[in-house]
Amino acid sequence: GAVVSQHPSWVICKSGTSVKIECRSLDFQATTMFWYRQFPKQSLMLMATSNEGSKATYEQGVEKDKFLINHASLTLSTLTVTSAHPEDSSFYICSARDAQGLSPEAFFGQGTRLTVV
């Protein structure tokens, strides 16, 4: 099956600093990638849709200036949490679909556990 690699798997950062999370599709091209956030014992909530070569689409209530998304190539999307605060601590998961539409399901990265201290 298709592989999506997310890096890092965990990160601890100081309050006020920025953290970048990478999401790569390893064996397929993805014009669209999705970023989700998952709080402990809760479901996945869509934060934004990342579109290759254009601006990301953010869900209502998600601060686009805080969660910067860049999708510069067909295999890489990045999420940068700017000026992180403890309330940004969470589990972030990306997913991607095959641009050729060969499979209807999305493939998920391993997730990134962010802890802001």
Partner 1 sequence: AQTVTQSQPEMSVQEAETVTLSCTYDTSESDYYLFWYKQPPSRQMILVIRQEAYKQQNATENRFSVNFQKAAKSFSLKISDSQLGDAAMYFCAYRKDTGRRALTFGSGTRLQVQP
CB of 83 to partner 1, least distance (A): 26
Q: Name the one range near partner 1 by CB under 8 A: 13-21, 63-71, 74-82, 87-95.
A: 87-95
Is residue 89 involved in binding partner 1 (CB under 8 A)? Answer: no
Q: How far is CA 94 from the centre of its chain?
A: 4
Is residue 46 involved in binding partner 1 (CB under 8 A)? Answer: yes
Is residue 104 involved in binding partner 1 (CB under 8 A)? Answer: yes
Q: How many CA atoms lie within 13 A of 88 on its CB side?
A: 25
Q: Name the one range near partner 1 by CB under 8 A: 12-20, 30-38, 61-69, 77-85.
A: 30-38
How many residues at the interface with partner 1, by CB under 8 A? 19
Beta strand 19-25 pairing with 76-81: antiparallel
Identify the residue whose tokens are 């998600």.
62
Q: Is 63 exposed, middle or buried (0-12, 13-18, 19+ CB in 10 A)?
A: exposed
Beta strand 112-116 pairing with 90-96: antiparallel
- Contacts with partner 1, residue ranges (CB under 8 A): 32, 34, 38, 42-46, 49, 91, 93, 95, 97, 104-106, 108, 110-111
